[in-house]
Amino acid sequence: MKRVYDLSSIILFQGVGSMDILEITSIIGTIAFSFSGALVAIEEKYDLLGIAVLGFVTAFGGGALRNLILGLSMDIFWSQTTLFYVSFATIGIVYLFPKRLSSMKMLELISDAIGLAAFSIQGALYGLGINGHIGPVIMAALLTGTGGGLIRDLLAGKKPSVLCAEIYGSWSILIAIALYVYRPTHSLVYLFIIVLTVLLRVVGLTYDWNLPKSKFNKHDDDNSHPTLKIDL
């Protein structure tokens, strides 16, 4: 029989409870990813419906994927009525001021990094609420933090950032490991993680940090075979 989890099953700490942290990171992540998704839609010249859909799925797609794959109740998703309003309000602001906002590339980068960090934290807390093992914690953080951006890029006809750009998904994994090991109890620590992730992502893009990629080199000779090289 499938177990059904709700937010009350993820109260992990004393003092500042994870319920508070979940609410904070949910609001921050929803605003940031709704903003990021709407900006990408405007860059791709989508209409109002396209902007709304791309902003919404960026904000909530990762959480929906997490719930489906980890067997969490979808009631968690549909109970986020207030966050739905927050998302559409953010998308509306982007729609009303498209020229000013779409010209600010750094703002798009920062909003995406904030969403990545906030939802990775949220996902890791859900993973800890399942059984406390490192596997579900990392998987929940990765799905929640990068799932929305993955869907956004696919709908926008772009290569998903998590699969090819810099070390995007690695930040989710590092956040999950940090929370699994230290399990901080103060909300300021989580806000610090978000700020640190944004700074590290900006530095990573500046200095072109990337995971190793494979390259196939095919010689002109038809009889030759492609060789695989790994950049280390």
Are the C-beta atoms of 79 and 5 separated by less than 8 Å? no
Question: Residue 71, Cβ neighbours under 10 Å: how many?
Answer: 12
Q: Residue 219 pLDDT more than 90?
A: no
- What sign does the CA torsion over 125, 147, 198, 59 have? negative
pLDDT recorded at residue 103: 62
Tens-digit pLDDT profile for residues 21-74: 778 888 999 999 999 899 999 888 999 999 999 999 999 999 999 888 888 778
Residue 74, token pair as written in the block:
């979808």
* pLDDT for 217: 53
Residue 45 or residue 167, greater confidence: 45
* Average predicted confidence (pLDDT) for the chain: 81
Domain boundaries, the chain: 16-207
Task: Give residue 160's pLDDT.
Answer: 84
Burial of 29 (0-12, 13-18, 19+ CB in 10 A): buried
Per-position b or e across 56-70, b if 16+ CB within 10 A of its CB: bbbbbbbbbbbbeeb
| Residue 142 clears pLDDT 90, i.e. is over it | yes
Task: Give the SS3 label for residue 165.
Answer: coil
Tens digits of per-residue pLDDT, 61-106? 999 998 888 887 788 788 888 999 999 999 999 998 877 765 667 7
pLDDT average, residue stretch 169-183: 92
Half-sphere exposure of 7 toward its Cβ, with a 13 Å CA cutoff?
A: 15
Q: Tell whether the model's pLDDT for residue 124 goes beyond 50.
A: yes
From CA 110, how far away is CA 142, in angstroms rounded?
A: 18
208 residue type, one letter: D
Measured CA to CA, the distance from residue 44 to residue 158 in angstroms comes to 10
